[in-house]
Amino acid sequence: MARRKHNVFVKHFAAMQLILMMQDADGSTPNVEYVKKHPTAPKVARFPEADKHEMLKYLLDFLPLVDPQVYKAFHVMLKRPRNVAGISLSLATVQQASQFNAAMLQAITDFSEMPMWADDPPHGCYLIMREVVCDLLA
């Protein structure tokens, strides 16, 4: 696969979208808040031992693998709303898009008889999501 900067950027953008759409039991998207609060990706070695498994379930260990420009762009967008092509990009629209994408993925996989939202949170099945995000970031 070509390693052109544009290809990498789009693949990392897609991976970041998948990471952000990981849902909690109440349907919230905690990774969106995490990226908003942290201007740089976390150091996996610094994950608190007690929370490490939960952080891995939400794919937070993949954030350091995301291209730093992609991570920074999401962080800035979550902190300061911008208008692009007539659309306001902000925390609210990113959360809404994450929830919309999660619901669409659920509908598509349910329709295809591959339910990903049948297990306990985080939703979807985080093991499948880990594999997909890993492929995008490779």
Phi/psi for 9 (5° steps) reads -60, -45
Q: Which domain holds residue 99?
A: 5-137
- Burial of residue 29, with CB atoms counted within 10 A of its CB: 0-12 exposed, 13-18 middle, 19 or more buried: buried
- At 43-67, the pLDDT tens digits run 888 888 888 888 888 999 999 999 9
Report whether pLDDT(14) > 90.
yes
The residue behind tokens 């999401």 is 74
pTM: predicted TM-score of the whole model, two decimal places:
0.86
Domain count, the chain: 1
- Is the distance from CB of 31 to CB of 19 less than 8 angstroms? yes
Query: Looking at beta carbons, which pairs linking 44-49 to residues 24 or more positions away fall under 8 Å?
Result: none
Cα distances from 33 to residues 4, 56, 63, in angstroms, run 30, 16, 13
pLDDT at 10: 92
- At 20-49, the pLDDT tens digits run 989 888 888 889 999 999 999 988 888 888
C-alpha to C-alpha distance for 29 and 96, rounded to whole angstroms: 10
